[in-house]
Amino acid sequence: MIKIKTYTALSVIFVLSLFLSSCNKDNSTQPTELTDEQFMQQVVNSGYSSSSSDEDNLMSQEITDLNDGSAQKNNESDPDPVDSLKRWGRRVSSVNVNYQITGNDTMRYVNVTRTITGNYIIIAFINGQLDSINKPYTEVFSRNIIFKRIDRTQYPRLNWRVYQVSNLDGGTTTPQVGTSQVQMTKIEIYKNGSASPTYTIQGPDFQSDYYTTIRFGGTGIPSFNRDDVVLVKVYTISQQVPADYVAFHWARNTFGFHRVQFNLESQNGNNRVYSKSFNVYSSHRLGVFNGYISASTHESLYTGDVNKFASDEIGIPYKIIQ
């Protein structure tokens, strides 16, 4: 009887040790968990997943999309003092990110401000000679993101997802404040010849416009199909006499960077309307992307004065769904 009790006790101790060992092993393989705030910052910087269609990944693309890397080809020419503009673009040299996170146990409100410094690079013929101009600049961009709680586990990754996201709003602060020279006030987007805009984005505070993600039953960010014909109209107020340089920029792919200038459609005093029609590539990748519209003064591109660079910008998320 004593032998049986001893054997039973030893068996229980052995099984218990295996169980505790297994628990310790499971815990050791768990990644170091982040706080809720750290997790949200991680989503903004690195995305949530590897899926190109996941709207939670949108914010992580911003810096790559905004960085031209060098001066890119230009198909336009304009007189005085730059005879012919050949290439131009932004080269980002540093980025500082600031987060302001507020809210409660079910909703968190994140304001992300990115301060970007770099050089605005222009390659052009000046007085018949090919020359390059570097204009140091600082731009500040802001976007609002709302996270919503979906669970109450010990892991923030399983508890929070992006509920709403705003447009990206920003512009130069040096050498000139962009909005003091030219400011975009409204964007209209028409699809496939529609008489009325499919999307209207009201400014000038573009980050006050929010898109509810599909995960939470919203229509999601602006969506398009391959081969869609898209007309975009940009409304501005300008303090300059010459027409401003309004352009659409979209992300780099295997064909390089993309930038297309808008045409001046109409003008009434300081109020101007620019427009451009685009065909969505039939081979466009499916997923979530950022498209940027910039309005820069004529002096920004067509003078060699490094103190003349003013630009207003908006980043509009969009999705190619099929």
Poorest-confidence range of 59-73, 218-232, 295-309?
A: 59-73
Q: Are residues 187 and 204 in the same domain?
A: yes
Alpha-carbon span 97 to 140, nearest angstrom: 10
CB neighbour class for 307 (10 Å; exposed up to 12, middle 13-18, buried from 19): exposed
Alpha-carbon span 13 to 86, nearest angstrom: 80
Q: Are residues 124 and 161 in the same domain?
A: yes
Work out the angle at residue 117's Cα, subtended by the Cα atoms of residues 34 and 260, and round it to the nearest 5 degrees.
105
Q: Are residues 145 and 271 in the same domain?
A: yes
CATH number of the structural domain spanning residue 254 = 2.70.50.30
Q: Please say whether the beta carbons of 133 and 170 come within 8 A.
A: no
User: What's phi and psi for 163, nearest 5 deg?
Assistant: -95, -50
Q: Are residues 23 and 36 in the same domain?
A: no
Q: Are residues 147 and 192 in the same domain?
A: yes
Q: Please say whether the beta carbons of 112 and 143 come within 8 A.
A: yes
**Predicted local confidence at residue 56, as pLDDT:** 81
Q: Are residues 141 and 167 in the same domain?
A: yes
3 state SS for 133-187:
EEEEEEEEEEEEEEEEECCCCCCHHHHEEEEEEECEEEEEEECCCHHHCEEEEEE
Q: Are residues 256 and 311 in the same domain?
A: yes
Q: Are residues 101 and 152 in the same domain?
A: yes
pLDDT at residue 23 is higher than 80:
no
Rounded to an integer, the average pLDDT of 1-25 is: 42
pLDDT at residue 10 is higher than 70:
no
**Burial readout 113-145 (b: 16 or more C-beta within 10 A, e: otherwise):** ebebebbbbbbbebeeeeeebebebebbbbbbb
**Helix (H/G/I), strand (E/B), else coil: 232:** strand
Alpha-carbon span 311 to 171, nearest angstrom: 5
231-280 pLDDT, tens digit each = 999 999 999 999 999 999 876 554 555 678 999 999 999 999 999 999 99
Q: Are residues 3 and 71 in the same domain?
A: no
Q: Are residues 59 and 23 in the same domain?
A: no
Q: H or E stretch including 127?
A: none
Mean per-residue pLDDT over the chain, rounded: 83
User: What's phi and psi for 193, nearest 5 deg?
Assistant: 80, 15
Longest dimension (CA), the chain: 109
Q: Are residues 309 and 222 in the same domain?
A: yes
pLDDT at residue 77 is higher than 70:
no
283-309 pLDDT, tens digit each = 888 888 888 999 999 999 988 899 999
**Predicted local confidence at residue 63, as pLDDT:** 58
Q: Are residues 151 and 26 in the same domain?
A: no
Residue that has been written with the tokens 């336009």 in this structure? 76
CB neighbour class for 168 (10 Å; exposed up to 12, middle 13-18, buried from 19): buried
**Predicted local confidence at residue 26, as pLDDT:** 39
**Burial readout 199-223 (b: 16 or more C-beta within 10 A, e: otherwise):** bebebbebbebebbbeeeeeebbbb
Strands 223-224 and 311-320: parallel
**Which structural domain range is residue 24 located in?**
1-30
**Predicted local confidence at residue 14, as pLDDT:** 41
CB atoms within 10 A of CB 183: 19
Q: How confident is the model at residue 78 (pLDDT cuts 50, 70, 90)?
A: very low
95-122 pLDDT, tens digit each = 999 999 999 999 999 999 999 999 999 9
Closest by CA to 300, choosing from 67, 63, 90, 65, is 90
Rounded to an integer, the average pLDDT of 125-137 is: 87
> Please, where are the H alpha helices in the chain?
2-29, 36-46, 62-66, 156-159, 298-302
Q: How many domains, the chain?
A: 2
